[in-house]
Amino acid sequence: MSEIKVKKPSQEELDSMGVDGWSPWECEPSTFDWEYSTKETAYVLEGRVRVRTDAGEVEFGQGDLVTFPKGMKCKWNVIEKIRKVYKFGD
């Protein structure tokens, strides 16, 4: 199974992906289990999160573009309130 991918996109990349039209989501500091039934791509507007999978931990935050593969099971640890926009699928 693929793992979480994190990168710092340029404004041009964000514009070409149509990030402004993605769905918003936010969460206060907390810890919870999650499973991705489909691929998710998210852009973090603010906050900081640590996600743990069987393969290890990944931390990301403001300005990161994050891709979660379909079928991945993980534990989210929201360290600082997160605000993100996201889309499902390719």
The 3-class secondary structure across the chain, one letter per residue, is CCCCEEECCCHHHHHHHCHHHCEEEEECCEEEEEECCCCEEEEEEEEEEEEEECCEEEEEECCCEEEECCCCEEEEEEEEEEEEEEEECC
Q: Which domains, from first to last, does the chain contain?
A: 5-88 (2.60.120.10)
Digit-coded pLDDT (tens) for 4-21: 999 999 999 999 999 999
Listed in sequence order, the residues at least 6 apart from 16 whose beta carbon sits closer than 8 Å to its beta carbon are none
Digit-coded pLDDT (tens) for 13-63: 999 999 999 999 999 999 999 999 999 999 999 999 999 999 899 999 999
Q: pTM, whole model, 2 decimals? A: 0.94
